[in-house]
Structure 1
Amino acid sequence: MGVLMTAVHAGPALGSAPGWPLVLYFHHVNAHVDHYTALNPDDFRRGLEIVLDGVGPALDPAAVGPGFEPPGHPSVLVTFDDGYRDNLDLAAPLLAEFGVKALLFCVTGKLDAAGRLSAAERAALPPREAYLTWEEAREFAGHGHVLSAHTVHHPHLPDLPPEEAAEEVAGSLRAIGERTGRAPRTFAYPYGLIPSGPSPVPDGVLAFGTVKSAPGPWTRRPRHIRRTYLPVGEVASWTRLALGWRQQWYGSR
């Protein structure tokens, strides 16, 4: 199977289609993680300030799903991938400072495994291996954030046979629904890799990529929604990025 990806779209400066929300993705808020979507707490706070001031207010992720109608002004959807423990311990208090609610795409098998570990085993894990338990994920959701699906095992979906890819997606959607009592309406592709054959994402679910996806109206590309990020170590560029993202919202409108 192939992958829908175009190198020209891989930079963070390209945001959303005109008239549609900017979608940001993070993995960690943690000073001890080296990853292009992992910010230390001070930078994450600064990033929220810049984006909310320079682009627009944050969306309520509970309103995001099929049939979503964008507001008539620039706005931001904040998302996290995988379901790491620092999302609760470090990101959640900062999000609360700004009244921002986030959409957390969970690797459901990792949350299952986290719940089987002892407290000592969990304390010994490095941040990149420290996932939320389901109890902690529900605590995160209790602050007004929304849990959603990111596959069961975080595979490269294009490498799987279509039926296996579809089950990775369906299994994570089921697990989220069972654990939250609410059928999830969104999904995020691991690594931003979207199979080029039949979509593994069922009807009635919006699917989010990364900077590997081209921007487009969600109504036209409901399974290829572009997300972007704040480049680590480049805080001085963020105000300019935010201005560009806001200008892109207006486009040719």
Structure 2
Amino acid sequence: MGAPLIADLADPALGSAPGWPLVLYFHHVNALVDHYTALSPDQFRRGLDTVLGTVGPALDPAAVGPGFRPPDHPSVLFTFDDGYRDNLQVAAPLLAEFGVKALLFCVTGELDAADRLSEPERAALPPRRSFLTWEEAERFAGLGHVLSAHTVRHPKLPELGGNEAAEEVTASLRRVRERTGEPVRTFAYPYGLIPERPPVPAGLLAFGTVKSPPASWEHRPLHIRRTYLPSGEVERWAGLATGWREQWFGSQ
């Protein structure tokens, strides 16, 4: 089978390169949010059960970074983008039910801004503007999840000049390192938009979305494809999970 056409890349049925972990991305677990990667709590529980039962076990995100070697069986890396408050309040207890640890890509400027708000101000925010504070993000990490970087302001990086794009990336990496005291080994591109020359420091793994073609992490470490469980299409999930598992085997 040849390489997928560009028009086909956005189809969530296209998973990872053969032999490499499936990577799923979510934004919210919140029944009030209408977004293609936002699931209700019941849907998220069902999604976890379907994917773990069909594709394979969850990866420990603490093991994901430069030099990562995939396990010799299908597996799944769960990731969240942006750093919303419901990731801690709603998603974390459900992840714990299944023993899953996740990688959370934080928009660091939004977490800084959340720190400056009073609790009544935060309570008045709609879910899509309600971000974690750093203290809450650190509580999330304390449950065994991993914090990582997703720029400072969540811009479309290809629309920025090279120096500005690089500063968005490096400043967010630096901020996460300051808060966690740990080296930051991964990054995720806002909107899955990757500049022609990715402004990511050498030695990291960088994650896109369904806009990236499937490829070996070893050969394209700055263009790792992620896919998703489409919200509102629960009836597709079993078939998607079966296909993702079959794709892991490739031509074997």
TM-score by length of 1: 0.97
2:251 is aligned to 252
1:209 is aligned to 208
TM-score by length of 2: 0.97
2:110 aligned counterpart, secondary structure: helix
Paired residues for 1:22-33 under 5 Å = 22-33=22-33
Aligned-pair distance for 1:7?
A: 2.7
Paired residues for 1:1-253 under 5 Å = 6-196=6-196, 198-253=197-252
Work out the CA distance in 1 between the residues paired with 2:162 and 2:134. 28
Aligned-pair distance for 1:214?
A: 0.1
Aligned-pair distance for 1:6?
A: 2.9
Aligned-pair distance for 1:34?
A: 0.4
Work out the CA distance in 2 between the residues paired with 1:71 and 1:168. 33
Cα offsets for 1:108-150 (capped at 9, x unmatched): 0000000000010000000000000000000000000000000
Work out the CA distance in 2 between the residues paired with 1:133 and 1:101. 20
Cα offsets for 1:36-67 (capped at 9, x unmatched): 00000000000000000000000000000010
1:18 aligned counterpart, secondary structure: coil
Cα offsets for 1:184-225 (capped at 9, x unmatched): 1000000000001x2200001100000000000000000000
1:6–1:213: 8 Å Cα contact kept in structure 2?
no
Work out the CA distance in 1 between the residues paired with 2:186 and 2:244. 23
Work out the CA distance in 2 between the residues paired with 1:13 and 1:127. 28
Cα offsets for 1:153-201 (capped at 9, x unmatched): 00000000000000000000000000000011000000000001x2200
Q: Spell out structure 1 runs of 4+ moving beyond 4 A.
A: none
1:226 aligned counterpart, secondary structure: coil
In the alignment, structure 2 segments of 5+ residues that lack a partner are none
Equivalenced residue count is: 248
Q: Which amino acid aligns with 2:167?
A: E
Percent of residue pairs bearing the same amino acid type: 75
